[in-house]
Amino acid sequence: MNTKYVLVFAALAPALLASAANEFVCRLPLVSPRDAQRLAYASASANAELVAPSTRRRTVAAPANGSATTPPIVNFIDSEIFSTMSAASVVPTKLSSDEEFLRRVTLDLTGQIPDSATVQTFIADTATDKRTKKIDALLASDAFNDRWTMWLGDLVQNVQASTSSREYYQGRNAYYTFLRDSIRTAKPYDQTVREILAGKGDSFTKGESNYWVRQIQRNGPIQDTYDNLSAHSGERFLGMPLLCISCHNGFGHLESVNQYLKSKSRSNFWANAAFFARTRAVASAGDPTNPNVRKFDVEDTAVGNYNLNTDSGNKTPRSAAPGQPTTVSPAFILTGETPRAGEPWRDAYGRMLTADPQFARATVNYLWKEMFGVGIVEPANAFDLNRLDPATLPPGQTLQPTHPALLSRLATEFVSVKFDLRAILRTMAMSSTYQLSSQYTPGAWNEAWTPYFARHYPHRLTAEEMLDAIARSTNVPVSFTVQGLGTVTAAMKLPDTIEGPRQPAGMFLDEFGRGDRDDVARTNDTSITQALSLMNNTVVTTRVRRSTANSTVAKVLASTSDPASVADQLYLATLSRHPSATEKQQAIDYLKSGTLATKTEDLQFVLLNSLEFLFD
């Protein structure tokens, strides 16, 4: 076997074994939220030790309190995190190096890795506020808009075709434009959500109307669509698994899953779904050249009800209790609030949902997970409102958030900055907690410390981040031809996750878990398929060749024949850092062991296949 392939397998083997275990777990019967939480912590801990092993691998007792210097308190995040650690005699690791911080924050805020020039400039900068300036610059960048449009598109599942509905590329593009404009113009997030929930108009021109179109259930009664909208909005905007009570009452069904929802009945769910009962979506021809393409005109109506006594479609029969009405009026599931006189029902729902404290809690938890690798509440879409507050915790129950006070303060802060995504992300990125090193240096790492956030938890780059990182590090761009949008020059700019399925780049994205925003969820797990793709897919193999025009390897070899310089330039371009003294000497020795051009190609190939490249 070629030496470079041996190096690849040696680097990836631990992560692949962990992935195999994860895949086995996923095939087990339904995992409870508490077990899912433990699995999330175990995965975060295992990845951290694989990518950035602690100082000593043998588990020992926590270092004595005060044996290491606590990083500076920058904001309330640090106050909450470090005080909790101190009370548990857990010592935080040191702050990340400039190189580690720069790569991480650039990926988290923009979905891209920094280029070599940016790394060198940042390292050379001696200003004490350079990290603050970098965070602000990234928040103001156009790449920020792309990365968080991708996040929001995932959240609302904007996709041109799913198993139950069709937006078509025209509707998908209109929805994408609406989402991106909302991010670009810094529209308050609560306003964006209200506009989505109440979206109306031509689905090919009014992007927000596609929230309704996306949830249309074609093979059942209209109540199935109302139920889809209720369950989806509850999960995506409140972080709550309302789908669990769409077919059965909570009592006798959810005791071991969700203490709050066990008290809710199916009639409560119907009342929440009834907010969508005064809306109609009328289909019409959307493309004169293709009679199969249908667009929708989504509009509110003055009349309409959620009717019971249905026995078809995708739900168990909807039956009224004896002597009870066969129609259900809208009432918000968390408060029982009803629409105001004359208020359109979907407008009322958006107003109630975004005003409820759970909306802010769920959103900051979703954002925290994007930035820190695991949520304060895990799973992030399975909030149990009865387990959030230690003061009201039912007997025999455990708290769900790792840091309940921090979750509350983050939600309060989000409201106070008027639901500004950039502002709350800035608060997170500025904290010392976020800027901790991935390596745990006070001593041997103990998996039991994972909920304390005593180190940063590296998470595998998303599929789009991986492809764009390969393109940037090799200096060979990627491009997609997207119907209705033309040429797209970065994977993070794609409007959905099913573009280019038969192209090498599209296959690469599929193999790295982009999902389809329908029945295949996005995943950041590693796999054997990914290892094989990194070694064989032309997305990688052609980009490391000297013969490829303007490739990093070609430019480096054109600029120098000095092995030390070659090594330094490849590390900067690929891993966003200079090599250590040991790494540099190993690289020099390797580059001198044969034809420089061939060895240079092999060196970047191996760096692209390293765990460090795969994780932030």
Cβ-contact 7, 531 below 8 angstroms: no
Question: CB within 8 A of 30, min separation 6: which ones?
Answer: none
* Boundary-marking domain end, from 355, 387, 403: 355
* CA–CA gap between residue 344 and residue 215 (Å, rounded): 20
604 domain-assigned: yes
The pair of structure tokens assigned to 390 is 């230690």
396 domain-assigned: no
Q: What one-character-per-residue DSSP string does 78-105 give?
A: HHHHHHHHHHTT----PBPPHHHHHHHH
Q: What is the dihedral of CA 99, 102, 105, 107, to 10 degrees?
A: -90
Q: Measured between alpha carbons, how far apart are the two ends of the chain, in Å?
A: 29
Quick one: pLDDT at residue 254? 78
Cβ-contact 153, 179 below 8 angstroms: yes
29 domain-assigned: no
Quick one: pLDDT at residue 252? 67
- Total domains in the chain come to 2
Q: What is the dihedral of CA 464, 468, 473, 477, to 10 degrees?
A: 150
Q: What share of the chain is helix, strand, coil (3-state, %, to 5)?
A: 50, 5, 45
Identity of the residue numbered 289: T
Query: Does the pLDDT of residue 4 top 80, yes or no?
Result: no
Quick one: pLDDT at residue 313? 75
In the predicted model, what is the mean pLDDT of the chain?
Answer: 92
Q: Cα 397 to chain center, whole Å?
A: 29
Quick one: pLDDT at residue 248? 84
Residue 540 banded pLDDT, cuts 50, 70, 90: very high
Give mean pLDDT, residues 400-427.
98
Quick one: pLDDT at residue 311? 77
Residues paired with 282 in a beta bridge: 297
* Boundary-marking domain end, from 322, 355, 388: 355
* Boundary-marking domain end, from 306, 332, 355: 355
Residue 188 banded pLDDT, cuts 50, 70, 90: very high
Give mean pLDDT, residues 161-165.
94
Pairing status of strand 480-482 against strand 486-488? antiparallel
Cβ-contact 168, 207 below 8 angstroms: no
Dmax over CA atoms of the chain, in Å, equals 88
Pairing status of strand 294-300 against strand 279-285? antiparallel
Cβ-contact 430, 135 below 8 angstroms: yes
Give mean pLDDT, residues 473-501.
95
320 domain-assigned: yes
Give mean pLDDT, residues 343-366.
98
371 domain-assigned: no
What's the domain range around 340? 153-355
Query: Does the pLDDT of residue 7 top 50, yes or no?
Result: no
Q: If you count them, how many residues does the chain have?
A: 616
* CA–CA gap between residue 474 and residue 507 (Å, rounded): 19
Query: Does the pLDDT of residue 321 top 90, yes or no?
Result: no
Whether the pTM exceeds 0.75: the reply is yes
HSE-up of 151 (CA within 13 Å, CB side)?
Answer: 21
400 domain-assigned: no
Quick one: pLDDT at residue 314? 76
Cβ-contact 378, 39 below 8 angstroms: no
Identity of the residue numbered 437: S
Quick one: pLDDT at residue 68? 54
161 domain-assigned: yes
Q: What are phi and psi of 291, to 5 degrees?
A: -65, -15
Q: Cα 326 to chain center, whole Å?
A: 41
17 domain-assigned: no
pLDDT digit string, tens, across residues 13-44 = 444 433 333 333 333 335 678 888 999 999 99
